[in-house]
Amino acid sequence: MQSLTDMGDIQIRRLREEDFPEVVRVEGAAFGEQAAPEEVAIFRAGFNVDRTLCALEDGALVGTNSVMDMELTVPGDRVIPVAALTWVGVLPSHRRRGIFRRLMERQLEDIRHGGDIVSVLLGSEGGIYGRFGYGSATSVLSFSLERPQAKLAGPFGNDGRIVLIDPAGAASVLPDVYDRYRRRQIGAVSRHPGWWTEYLYDIEHHRERTGKMFHAVHENASGSRDGYVTYRIEQHWSAGLPSGELVVVELIAADPEVYAALWSYCLNTDLVRTISMGRGRVEEPLRWLLTDPRSLQVDGLVDYLWVRLIDLPRALAARDYYSPGDLVLEVTDEVFPANSGRYRLRVEAPGGTALCAPTAADPQLALSVAELGAVYLGGVSFQTLAAAGRVKELSGGALANADLMFATDTPPYCVTMF
């Protein structure tokens, strides 16, 4: 029998297959969008009905949230399964009635009972998910460059070539290139076939007044594909001169020379004046490839991937640590009170795994589960959070010890929308 949760005149239950078109309508209304009829089947390709909840009023669907099964790369080039929360929305007519909170609490309970140790999400607003135990673990940089000023300092050694491929070719090439890259990038998540179906379909209202996507792939001297850039062009002419914009959707390259070659391709594209990217790295290497670093203008810095530890001991033991250490954490978790308590994290060797278990030892640091999610991938330091009053040092030297243990060689980075 399906479980129903009553909320006055609102009921929450699991989604049924026949409800899916209504999910698209409700989600679109929540975000001010309307999907074309032919897009419903495209959305369905990447949707997990079995892990979706819906809220109903008088039998009509008014809110949803769903979970995608993904993998997350954590420090140590380790890959762990995660519950990726998505399709979160409530009709504008039904907000401020507790529907969103009830859906979140029920979904988190389902995630915990399902055995997931970590959950992740992308937040449409920055002030929503901290109260559910999620911490901002990665950020992205939006930036732009004007072609007349943006010159690369090269030449760079590269014996490969860049080729444009059509959407059909992209479907057979890009997933493999991305999959090899994401297994080496802390903070990157996996992409299942349904995700690629939606992405490459290139839904019109995702284009933000630009054109369809182009895909340029880098091939090395042996013909192997090892990087790509996906971009759009916004055409504009002024007084007979081109003044359009090349908008980089994502640039995927693990090798520095391939990275430089792909940016060179973008900066040398004719008939555009501006090159921009909305989801770049916080420590963007492109700045250091330019003869004038000031030609890269920062337009914004926002949170991106949020991390929520569900099973604290298993989640903390699932990543590697930079330095040996012994740390006792006092953690509070308002959503899952059973998680609240003291945990001892012990790492025996540099770059090693940890043992983590509840303990009665005196705590050295006190923090909430949301702050623990924020530091989990190494994207922010304990000392920074302590300066903001979000972590309390209870034993001298504990902040420095924790930062050394949780340090990473490269910052975490996620570019995947879900």
Provide the annotated active-site residues: 129, 418
What distance in Å separates the CA atoms of residue 211 and residue 217, rounded to the nearest whole number?
Answer: 19
Locate the DSSP E strands across 29-127.
Answer: 52-57, 60-74, 78-90, 118-122
Q: Which helix (H) or strand (E) holds 404?
A: helix 398-406
The full DSSP string for 303-326 is E-EEEEESSHHHHHHTSB-SS-EE
Find where tokens 């623990």 sit: 372
User: Do 27 and 64 contact (CB within 8 A), yes or no?
Assistant: yes
Give the contacts of 163 (CB within 8 A, at least 6 positions apart).
216, 217, 219
| Residue 379 CB neighbour total at 10 angstroms | 25
**Number of alpha helices (DSSP H) and beta strands (DSSP E) in the chain:** 11, 22
- 225-234 and 237-238 strand pairing: unpaired
What distance in Å separates the CA atoms of residue 137 and residue 374, rounded to the nearest whole number?
Answer: 4
Give the contacts of 284 (CB within 8 A, at least 6 positions apart).
141, 143, 296
Q: Which helix (H) or strand (E) holds 393?
A: strand 391-393
User: Do 197 and 189 contact (CB within 8 A), yes or no?
Assistant: no
